[in-house]
Amino acid sequence: MSDHYPDRLWFFAEKGQAAPTRWVAHDDVTKPFSVNMYLCDCARCRDALAAEVARTPRTNLLVRSEGDRLLVTAELALDVWERTAGLEGLLYLPADAIRDVSVPEWPPLWYPQRWFSTTCREDELLAGRTPAVRRVPARQSRAAARRRAEWLADHPDERLHDELEARRSRSHLRLVAGGGTGPTRGRRVRYRRPARDLRLL
């Protein structure tokens, strides 16, 4: 492996710091997981994952697949691995495949969330729903796939990500305009529940 910065280690690159050493869990099954550590699908990597779960069940893992980016806790990954003899059960998209599994440079999943998929979040926003906090993997529904395909067909020159970000900022503006401006005359202003609040599944 070359020693260049993987795209997700921008934090170290921006600070001019060396990227943490890259290693694979089967090299030392007792070593605590650290940033830039990778898991392969061998039995020793599964043993290393089980040891990590015993120490720190909420260690975050980044799953890069052909069509998605997912974050999962080590505990959920081990559960899926033991029940299905692989990690593919973590994937959101049908017929997707895992490229690699590693420890990201920061742990973005907060309790009780154990699973996050970039594509799933986009599909929920596209459907006008608030993204849910998930403890188990979701699978893309046919309706969600159809909605996404239709949007992409209607907007060949736009990026779905940009559209969803624009919708978010519009809803934020509405929130401020509806409740946050104007004289309150000493009354408490009741804000609408923010759109970024997360539903719990």
Binding site for Zn ion (CB under 5 A): 26, 40, 42, 45
Q: Closest by alpha carbon to 116, among 73, 154, 74, 66?
A: 73
Please state, in angstroms and rounded to a whole number, the distance separating the CA atoms of residues 78 and 80: 5
The residue (of 40 and 176) whose beta carbon lies closer to Zn ion is 40
- The distance of closest approach from Cβ of residue 31 to Zn ion in the complex, given in angstroms and rounded to an integer, is 13
Cβ burial of 76 (10 Å; 0-12, 13-18, 19+) is buried
CB of 27 to Zn ion, least distance (A): 8
The answer to whether residues 33 and 57 touch, using CB atoms and an 8 Å cutoff, is no
- Smallest gap from Cβ 85 to Zn ion, in A, equals 15
Q: Choose between 26 and 58: whose C-beta lies nearer to Zn ion.
A: 26
> Nearer Cβ to Zn ion, position 40 or 177?
40
Give the nearest distance from C-beta 42 to Zn ion in angstroms.
Answer: 3
**52 vs 122 by CB, closer to Zn ion:** 52
Measured from the CB of residue 56, what is the shortest distance to Zn ion in angstroms? 19
Query: Strands (DSSP E) along the chain, which ranges?
Result: 23-24, 37-39, 60-65, 69-73, 98-102, 115-117, 132-133, 199-200
- What does the CA dihedral 23, 24, 30, 33 come to, rounded to 10 degrees? 70
Cβ closest to Zn ion, residue 46 vs residue 114: 46
Measured CA to CA, the distance from residue 198 to residue 61 in angstroms comes to 21
